[in-house]
Amino acid sequence: VSTQSTRTQRKTSLDKPPQRKVSLTGKVDPPGNDPQKNTLTVLEIITEFIESGDLNEALEGIKKRIEIDGAEFVKRSLIFGIEHKAYERELISQLLSSAYSIFQSEMGQGFILVLNRLPDLLLDVPDAIDVLGKFIARAVVDEILPPVFFTTNIGNDKGLMALTLASELYERERKRLEHIWGPGDLSSVSRLRKEVNSLLIEYLENKDLNDATQAVNSLNARSFNSQVIRQCLTLALERNNPASREDIINLIVSFHKSGVVHPYDVRHGFELTWRKINDIKLDVPNALEMLKELTTKAIQLNLLPNDFNYNKS
């Protein structure tokens, strides 16, 4: 399929009115579909994607859950981006662009839902108009919204301001919209992993807790913190010696005490490591015993709750 025909297909499908409720399999959603459960499912997919950066995994997760409403998915994704920073916003833009093939007819409706909610969003996020305007402009550049979307009739002045801003950005700064989120959008998951790995190796050499803690804080990507903990634990297992395990536990304690990571990040980081333990064992045969030791130590230091059950991770 040519690039031109793909663009035409995208614009045509977005001009159609939303078609709901239809599942991803083309069947009408079953009666009794629980909206609250639907929302939790959507948030779970978004959160896991932001933590891992794995687009293919996120798209597979969407396709497997036929109860997901496309407009709701787009709305929740945008609100998540509005409430976070450049790193998360870039990933949300990528997620929406990739999910277009699944939610073609509902993409525009999802943006409209957020435009209608702007007055409420502004109470918690003062720059919500600016952020949503950038999301819209970026979506038009990515060809998941048609340029005519700028003329959408919205029943509140805040939404109209966001549309006007988006239109102006598109007309004036089209070339830079691919990097609309500034330097933060360059912090790809692969780049963050490399940076974390470098700072951890440096820490194990110089044992400077303050320097390593500050380095993680300066990444300005809080949604990646569970992965930071996972990388800490994986490196401790790969080093395969008591001194490195002790140093890594001390570092996680420093992260926790300073507030750089939250209790959820620590717990989820351990859960992620336990899920990969069979893979790690291929290179480090005694990894299971070492991870049990690290988990027990973390519980003793109140880094993990007493009821943490790694068998279910």
Single-letter amino acid, residue 162: A
Classify residue 284 by its DSSP letter: -
Q: How does residue 33 score in pLDDT terms, banded at 50, 70 and 90?
A: low
Helix (H, G, I), strand (E, B) or coil at 22: strand
pLDDT at 56 over 50: yes
Q: Which residue has the higher pLDDT, 64 or 136?
A: 136
pLDDT at 11 over 80: no
pLDDT at 114 over 90: yes
Look at 23-37, 56-70, 279-293 and tell me which has the smallest mean pLDDT. Answer: 23-37
Segment 180-211, tens digit of pLDDT: 886 554 456 778 889 999 999 999 999 999 99
pLDDT at 263 over 50: yes
pLDDT above 90: percentage of residues in the chain: 65
**What is the average per-residue pLDDT within 147-164?**
96
Residue in 157, 164, 165, 70 with CA at minimum distance from that of residue 118:
157
pTM of the model: 0.66
pLDDT of residue 3: 36
Single-letter amino acid, residue 186: L
CA 36, CA 95: separation in Å to the nearest integer? Answer: 22
**What is the average per-residue pLDDT within 18-45?**
59
Residue in 223, 293, 305, 295 with CA at minimum distance from that of residue 265:
223
Give Cα 43 distance to the centre of its chain.
10
Q: How does residue 219 score in pLDDT terms, banded at 50, 70 and 90?
A: confident
pLDDT at 32 over 50: no
Classify residue 306 by its DSSP letter: T
Q: Which residue has the higher pLDDT, 279 or 16?
A: 279
pLDDT of residue 117: 96
Mean pLDDT in the chain?
86
**What is the average per-residue pLDDT within 226-248?**
96
